[in-house]
Amino acid sequence: MTTSQFIAGLIGPVSMAIATFMVIRRESFAQFTREAVSNRPLIFLAGILLMLAGLTIIQTHNLWVWDWRVIITVLGWLCVLGGLVRIFSPEYAQTIVDNIKPDHPAVIVTAVLYFALGAFLTAKAYAIF
């Protein structure tokens, strides 16, 4: 198993689980996000963890190649960026969540994209195609 497959095998199933939760338990998802962003120390901690995850991916998988593996590298950099935003501007996360309604079509579209990305990475991780 390559490093790419290993990381894809972690990111893929988690993305699919989160996406499924977003659709099946929309009200709970909305409640969790509202509660999480009302706690600035929690946003700060989430930023640290997200940045740490991104840096871990970048340290082990900073591949800028023109195939599926670049998705993992881009996700690593997005994690670093997302972590920095949460650390330095937690109020930005609060503003975004305040504008999200659980029945908004964007929630479903986002969940579908997360699930599709997760399914793709899972398939690559376990050499399904």
On the 0-12 / 13-18 / 19+ scale of CB atoms within 10 A, 123 is: middle
- Cα-Cα end-to-end distance for the chain: 15
- The pLDDT value recorded for residue 31 is 86
Average pLDDT of span 24-33: 87
Q: What would the pLDDT profile of 48-77 be if each residue is shown by its tens digit?
A: 999 999 999 999 999 999 999 999 999 999
Return the SS3 of 37.
Answer: helix
Closest CA to 80 of 63, 56, 110: 56
Whether 105 shows a pLDDT value over 80: the answer reads yes
Helices (H) and strands (E) in the chain, counts: 6, 0
